[in-house]
Amino acid sequence: IADWQQITGYFNRLDAASDRISVKEIGKTTLGKPMIVAFISTPENLKNLESYRQMSQKLADPRQVKSQAELESLIKNGKTIVSISCSIHSTEIVASQMSMNLAYELVTANDDETKEILDNTILLLIPSSNPDGINIVANWYRKNLGTKSEGTSPPELYHHYAGHDNNRDWFMLNLRETQNITKLFWQEWFPQVVYDVHQMGQNGARFVIPPFFDPPNPRIPPLILREVGLVGYKMAADLQAANIGGVATNTTFDTWWHGGFRSAPYYHNSIGILSEAASANLMSPVVITRDKLVKSGRARGLNSPLETATNHPDIWEGGTWRPIDIAQIEMTASRALLQLAAKFRPRYLRNFYELGKANLERQKDEPQAFIVTAGQPNAETVARFLEILMWQGMEVHQMTRELEIVPDRNKPNDFGEIPLGSFLVFTNQPQKNNVLSLFERQVYPQRLNANGEAEVPYDVAGWTLPLQMGVETVAAWQIKDLAQHRNTLRKIENSNQARKILNLKVTNGSFQALPNPLKSKPKIGLYRGFTSSMDEGWTRLVLDNHRIPFRAVTDADFRRKKLDYDAIIFPSQSEKEIVEGLKAENYPAEFSGGITEQGVENLKNFVEKGGKLICFDDSCELVIKRFNLPVKNVLNNLKRSEFYNPGSVVQLKVDAGSALSKNLGENVAAYFINSSAFEITDTNKVKSVARYAEKDVLLSGWVLGEKYMNGKTAIAETDYGQGKIILFAFRPQHRGQTFATFPFIFNALEK
């Protein structure tokens, strides 16, 4: 296994030895490691990289192309810009190792196919978009070779904050790695094709590629969906020609959700490809028996990995599965993509341009603009929201005079005034679909299986960003006398320009930490076990981003009663995960065992003596049970045919009289992702601070069986001995996106 120093060292040596590759650093990781991209093409193309970058930039914004002759020149002379990115999930390690082989092959081979690829494409090869994780996994794997822990996942998140969720950050841009690659893609190079190389579980199909499963997002252009499918079928055909079985299409992964590495490009008029290869045990081979394949169960679109189907015509019967098998498949798929990009270069460039051009024309179901209204109390959040939009290439304008707009499409003659100082985002810009998909409320189709059960989507159903962040926006279906007033709109060029308008201090650099919102100075502990909780990581990110000091509370701290804190936060983790932790049969004693029953008793003692315990979502179940609280989760044991909410924005009704509700309105948008809904059986002991709305609880996404959560408690608090317990039925810091509910956390932490 090669660690990040070895991978970057290899690429730098390849750069020194060949004129077909140029390695550049694009920024630092969260932990300060260099992130690199290898530009691979002919020597002549690499000498003129800046010229080709400008061509791609012009094609991405048709307003810059002044004539048909200029367009034809760009298509004739431009190159298809392709990015292949490896191992964002660093336990899916093989692609990072494969990247070195792919680079070597492209810079040394002299066959006609390779020459055609190099002549017609510029490859942006990213050996890993998570270098910190590559080191974590490599070090853990080496340390445990030949032990019971060989091939296991490390007992820590393989991204400092996000772990596996680092591929859920591609519209929010919380992470340095996401910010760096977003800048590379959507501020600089504008790739026509982005390929994100992944692995999955061991016991299903050997390789899953496009076309993807339903449903598609209605804001993805149909041409993009067709092109995605075309690339997938080329990969599948080449793999079949190489007699590689177990390749499946049209299964498991859909194109509904926005925020992934391969799904974000759809909203930039680019083709996004995801592949998922069956995993080994990191870099150790595994034996997959036929019985394991039988027991793997049904996936969406694939009844069994042992069943022949049109989308899975050649089954894999089982046997030894090695990292080299994975690498061979990924190499073949990468070459298939590059062949298409080279052979049909003019087609990809023209389609890219035409998609952007089409976005400049307004359609009947689209507002003219979205407006972030002036005078909102949360100026720092508004500034961060605008920075997120602009970083991924959206155009934002300041209104320097009042404008009259129609906010309701059903009342075309009812104009209302919007104050100067507001920010306006036109929909008719090359990134129209990105604008719409982030501002609009998602309406996920109700998809039920033959048993009436909700079909589980790939990720979440709704994500409307202004709702999640608590930013007030209004759709402008018509702007009165826009032509007359257009010269009063001032384009915002950078985030500091927006900050000045909002009367905020300018910052040095992008995405800087926000001011600490706490008035007091509590001693805060955050539970951090060894089961690699992403929710714990996101909680750390929110605290760090708001400059709130805290310390990690470990399993050993709970066992030894080292709980000298004013408040302890439990992120969303199950009772079993917290109490029992990792299994001793797979992990050394220092990492296994959880907080134990003794730790639970010590936790109870901490609260009884005056401590504050704050629980998010799943961790509430432990506390309700062990502290014998008169609260129950009414959603427990409901069938998926009765209730299902896989990730949606919902409405809370808030008790304004509670200290937890300070600086919050009566209505607050919260994020619900397979979360809880509480019923309090003794209101003398437990108080409801916020409830899910009595009706119309869904703001964006999908909920089946809304009646089960209507009016139920979403935030509860109770005294326990001399201390206090605060229960969040949802995750108020979900993926670092839900700025609207962050104040609940801050209020809960105050002394």
Query: What is the per-residue pLDDT across 405-440, written as a single tens digit (0 to 9) for each?
Result: 999 999 999 999 999 999 999 999 999 999 999 999
If one counts every other C-beta atom within 10 angstroms of the C-beta of residue 388, the result is: 22
Write out the DSSP string of 103-119: HHHHHH--SHHHHHHHH
Q: Name the token pair of 551.
A: 């310390």
Are the C-beta atoms of 182 and 85 separated by less than 8 Å? no
87 band by pLDDT with thresholds 50, 70 and 90 = very high
Are the C-beta atoms of 595 and 603 separated by less than 8 Å? yes
Q: What percent of the chain has pLDDT over 90?
A: 100
Per-residue confidence (pLDDT) for residue 204, from 0 to 100: 97
E strand intervals along 20-79: 21-28, 34-40
Are the C-beta atoms of 473 and 373 separated by less than 8 Å? yes
Q: What is residue 282's three-state secondary structure?
A: coil
Give residue for tokens 């194109």: 255
Per-residue confidence (pLDDT) for residue 336, from 0 to 100: 98
Per-residue confidence (pLDDT) for residue 631, from 0 to 100: 98
Are the C-beta atoms of 652 and 668 separated by less than 8 Å? yes
Per-residue confidence (pLDDT) for residue 180, from 0 to 100: 98
Closest C-alpha to 189, from 253, 141, 126? 126
- Structure confidence by residue, pLDDT tens digits, 715-745: 999 999 999 999 999 999 999 999 999 999 9
Contacts of 91 (CB under 8 A, 6+ apart): 133, 137, 153, 154, 158, 199, 279, 282
16 band by pLDDT with thresholds 50, 70 and 90 = very high
Write out the DSSP string of 458-473: SS-S---HHHHHT--E
- Structure confidence by residue, pLDDT tens digits, 530-588: 999 999 999 999 999 999 999 999 999 999 999 999 999 999 999 999 999 999 999 99
- Structure confidence by residue, pLDDT tens digits, 365-378: 999 999 999 999 99
What amino acid is encoded at 100 in this protein? M
600 band by pLDDT with thresholds 50, 70 and 90 = very high
Contacts of 434 (CB under 8 A, 6+ apart): 171, 267, 268, 392, 393, 394
Closest C-alpha to 636, from 711, 733, 708? 708
Give residue for tokens 């000045």: 500
Q: Which domains are assigned to the chain?
A: 4-358 (3.40.630.10), 369-478 (no CATH), 524-749 (3.40.50.880)
Are the C-beta atoms of 175 and 129 separated by less than 8 Å? no
User: What integer is the mean pLDDT of 89-96?
Assistant: 98
Q: How far is it, in rounded angstroms, from Cα 235 to Cα 248? A: 11
User: What integer is the mean pLDDT of 74-96?
Assistant: 98
Q: What are phi and psi of 284, to 5 degrees?
A: -105, 135
The C-alpha torsion from 622 through 627 and 628 to 632, rounded to 10°, is -40
In the 3-class helix/strand/coil scheme, how is 311-336 assigned residue by residue? Answer: CECCCCCCEEECHHHHHHHHHHHHHH
Across the chain, mean pLDDT equals 98
Nearest 5°: the CA angle 194, 178, 63 is 60
- Structure confidence by residue, pLDDT tens digits, 632-670: 999 999 999 999 999 999 999 999 999 999 999 999 999
Packing angle between helix 94-108 and helix 323-343, nearest 10 degrees? Answer: 50
Q: How many residues are recorded in the chain?
A: 751
114 band by pLDDT with thresholds 50, 70 and 90 = very high
Hey, which residues does 200 pair with through a beta bridge?
Answer: 278
Burial 557-570 (b: 16+ CB within 10 A, else e): bbbeeebebbbbbb
Q: How far is it, in rounded angstroms, from Cα 192 to Cα 341? A: 9
User: What integer is the mean pLDDT of 308-327?
Assistant: 98
Per-residue confidence (pLDDT) for residue 93, from 0 to 100: 98
